[in-house]
A and B are shown apart, each in its own frame.
Chain A
């Protein structure tokens, strides 16, 4: 397994099912349930992640794209699916300032109650504009683990941000690879 921790390569095994993924060394990082999936930036990527984690992998996570601080009560894991969508923000009645404030509030609440944050970026290059980047810069420093589909990380932006706290980053070629990584992180 080829692995990175904030940009450090520590191994080399390619899992065919993950499509030449670059995986984080995450043996010491696990996530527990109950957990919650929320959208950071209100893109429809959160719906894809919901189908992947709940319908296909049956992780049974709560799904609240617009989760508020109160929704984190009792949660041990918060899955943040990051990527900005103007349509999604508009439909939710949000602008970027409000979404950034909601995000910071969730991160603060997660820290306060000891919930771990799993950041997922699955939307590829089209979710790497300025607004998406602004959100990514906010969430990655608080992540315990990052999963990113490679087409959205050609500049290794996620490793650069994650390296400040030595946060593991799993870069996968495909969404199915992201599912495999997350499945391995939920050990209970």
Chain B
């Protein structure tokens, strides 16, 4: 069955995830938090897709739904051509070998009572993989070398490492089962600036040498541009724009993407002082009480400029191709493509 899907390692189609709230005595849900709303995207083999958005946009939930940490409510997720939604955990196990996850917090995502060797051997045992390489070398030591750590560290415990080193251990654990896709959920945001670049360079070199695809979830737009071939922007559970990295950053179409990019401060005083920012008013609405129509219409500067057209608050815009020659560029906005 597998490998029939050709280029795509991941196909997410119309994915929705919701969480019940107000489960009372009878555990009956009174209402739902609509965390992810009809999200569709694909990732090619060896490709990096960046997923950006602010807190509450649903980007983390998308990542977790792919490995079934959160159960999707609707939609389909194909990993290497096999459907993930609706299967049981036994059926899920072989697919977990293909997709691994790296988490944000390198402090809480490693078991403090396990040595590095135990941490790295566990996934090998789970998937009945050999502890030696074909050449008879120790897999744990090979993995540590791969992520730039001294093989002697195998006997140490997580607390003996710095944040950046721990994140390398987390990456080594993900690499242990030789996955085809790694989902990185804010992998560097807990690290200091001077250490972030070390981890980004490591991920890039792994991508080059091992041909792994990445879903890179982050809120830092500069980092996402650096590491991704394509970028999807999420707002309140939905993708509002998706395009190649170059195209999205040079030619953003959606008013939310434009505002997001203009809000990122850059370390150049001349630029900063002469810059016209699009400052959004208000906060992200609550996902328990989603706005009707376009999710962004309550804060949209473009809608305000156009004199609040009715369609924005009544009809949800679909992603449509912005028809830029060459690369695909899709935008979910009624008016972004006019002018």
**Does B bind A?**
no
Instruction: Please list the residues of chain B having a beta carbon within 8 angstroms of any beta carbon in chain A.
Output: none
